[in-house]
Amino acid sequence: MKGNKFNKILEEHQQRIYSLALYILRDKHEAEDITQDVFTRLWNSLDQVDILKMSAWLSTVTRNACIDKLRKRKEFSQVEDEHQVTKDHEEPAGNLQHQQLSSWLSNAISCLKEPYSSLIMLCDVQQNSQSIAAQSLNLTTSQVKVYLHRARRELRNLLKEYTHE
């Protein structure tokens, strides 16, 4: 019974949790480790977690584990993403533009203060609802709306700086 419930949750949320960890850590192997740790923690406390709040619980545990990992690394600077390393052959201009925009966006989001960067990640990148973001970050939905508005405004300003350099 517990195994079936766990497998269903794992299947439903594993990719999203891995993506969140990868986005925060910028390291494929560390993201895999965090994902495994998060689901190990879920297995150990499956009976205590409310199924209706599962998505928020997983996001919160993932985010906190990633922050702990970053603190251990003592490195908050942007880490170059493996996908942005060019191969021996030249890539099409469209792909290069996409990489540049992706790099600007990642850099801009990482420059945002908390909880702004987490809200952008949870609501805009991962497409979670504002109520899930509120539960994940221990905020009210009103705070999420206000902070998300401020975060998007700040992000727009940062992106303008990147595109005008």
Tell me which residue range forms the domain holding 145: 92-165
Decide: 91 and 160 in contact? Cβ < 8 Å.
no
pLDDT tens digits for range 76-129: 444 444 334 444 444 555 566 667 777 778 878 888 888 898 898 889 888 888
Same domain for 19 and 53? yes
pLDDT tens digits for range 116-162: 988 988 898 888 889 988 988 889 999 999 999 999 999 899 888 76
Q: How far is CA 22 from the centre of its chain?
A: 7
Same domain for 119 and 68? no
Alpha carbon distance, N-terminus to C-terminus of the chain: 57
Same domain for 47 and 1? yes
pLDDT of residue 78: 41
pLDDT of residue 12: 92
pLDDT of residue 70: 81
pLDDT for 34 beyond 70: yes
Same domain for 112 and 44? no
Does some domain include residue 17? yes
What string of DSSP letters covers 56-91?
A: HHHHHHHHHHHHHHHHHHT--SPPPPGGGS--SSPP
Same domain for 69 and 99? no
pLDDT of residue 98: 65
Q: What is the mean pLDDT of the chain?
A: 82
**Gap between the Cα atoms of 146 and 124, Å rounded:** 15
Tell if the pTM clears 0.85, that is, is over it.
Answer: no
pLDDT tens digits for range 55-80: 989 999 998 898 888 878 764 444 44
CATH number at residue 22: 1.10.1740.10
Does some domain include residue 83? no
Same domain for 60 and 101? no
User: What's the mean pLDDT in 11-36?
Assistant: 91
Same domain for 70 and 14? yes
CATH number at residue 149: 1.10.10.10
Does some domain include residue 104? yes
How many domains is the chain partitioned into structurally? 2
